[in-house]
Structure 1
Amino acid sequence: MGSGAPVESASPSRRGFLRGRVRAVAPAMRPPWAREEHDFISSCTRCDICIDACPTAILVRADGGFPAVDFSLGECTFCGECVTRCAPRALLRRAEGEAPWALKASIGQACLAEAGVECRVCGESCPTGAIRFRPRIGGVALPQLDADTCTGCGACFASCPTRAIVVRAESEVPTESEQ
């Protein structure tokens, strides 16, 4: 899936290379229902209609003028306005019941609960209830993310006061035993 590009992986920026500044850049997270990256780039006209149509205003103009998701601005409600208005069909609905992208959240070590501070903001903001808190003897409850329930909407990312949550390609999310 096009928007499932790993956020942590990096590739050299063509613009930076041509300017003599070779550095790694993380690929942009594309809007929901984005086609594979190559097909998305080939078909997107950079008209900004999807950006303007987004009711939560999380779609922004990214490198090269292509739309990308910025979860620091809020969450994706999967309303479908971006895909409905995409005339060049860079965004295409998937089959019924198929996820709009392969993004999932993961909770990192900067989590306040991991440091012994009571915080449940991510769980309270998760619309699917994918983040629950596991009681712990002698300490605050720890967050536990159910990857099967997580839609990758970004609600937890936007609300996390320490940015301990990362939304990235499902293939890049550590399993429960790795966390």
Structure 2
Amino acid sequence: MVDLSKRRFFSKRTVDDNTIRLPWLANSTQFTELCTRCGKCAENCETNIIINGDGGFPQVDFSRGECTFCYGCAQVCPESLFEPEQNNPWDAKASITDGCLAKQNVECRSCGDMCETMAIQFKLEIGKVAQPNLDLDECTGCGACVAVCPTSSINVSKLV
């Protein structure tokens, strides 16, 4: 019989605190101690955005798609890692860098077209193409805007 506590001792790694792990994660500081890396969350992700990250621990990869907040990952987890579904899934928000095509005066509204909550809207400016305006109060951190960005200029990360 394998003692998992001893196995974790040898495989424990420092985890980047800004890594988007999973929605509704109750305690991100204890995540690496409690997660058994069974893979059930990734198998049940309806958009296939949960991947094996650093040390084999699950994390979200928005370059693959968006989080629909289906709660499937939490429902199948055999450990007590998740908060109730009615709670806020996470404190993560999108940010748009200067590599954005619109900020380079090239017409592009891909991210705004994908944003279901309309957190990304484009504002007309004199002498420029319409510029992205991100309303953080409306942003759910779902990541729908990330994969469609042709210049990879959108990131979703935890609020610090």
Q: Normalised by the size of structure 1, how large is the TM-score? A: 0.77
1:163 aligns with 2:152: yes
Which residue in 2 is equivalent to 1:101?
90
Which residue in 2 is equivalent to 1:130?
119
CA contact (8 A) 2:40 2:76 kept: yes
Report the secondary structure of 2:80's partner residue: coil
What amino acid maps onto 2:36 in structure 1?
T
Aligned length: 149
Report the secondary structure of 1:139's partner residue: coil
Report the secondary structure of 2:132's partner residue: strand
Q: Normalised by the size of structure 2, how large is the TM-score? A: 0.86
Identity of aligned residues (%): 48
Distance apart, 1:25 and its partner CA: 6.3
Distance apart, 1:169 and its partner CA: 1.1
1:85 aligns with 2:76: yes
Which residue in 1 is equivalent to 2:139?
150
Distance apart, 1:29 and its partner CA: 1.7
| Cα-Cα RMSD | 1.9
What amino acid maps onto 1:102 in structure 2?
D
Distance apart, 1:90 and its partner CA: 1.6
Distance 1:104 1:45, change over 3 A: same
Report the secondary structure of 2:123's partner residue: strand
What amino acid maps onto 1:105 in structure 2?
A
Which residue in 1 is equivalent to 2:43?
52
Which residue in 2 is equivalent to 1:115?
104
Q: Any gaps of 5 or more consecutive residues in structure 2?
A: 1-11
| Whole-Å separation in 1 of the counterparts to 2:49 and 2:84 | 19
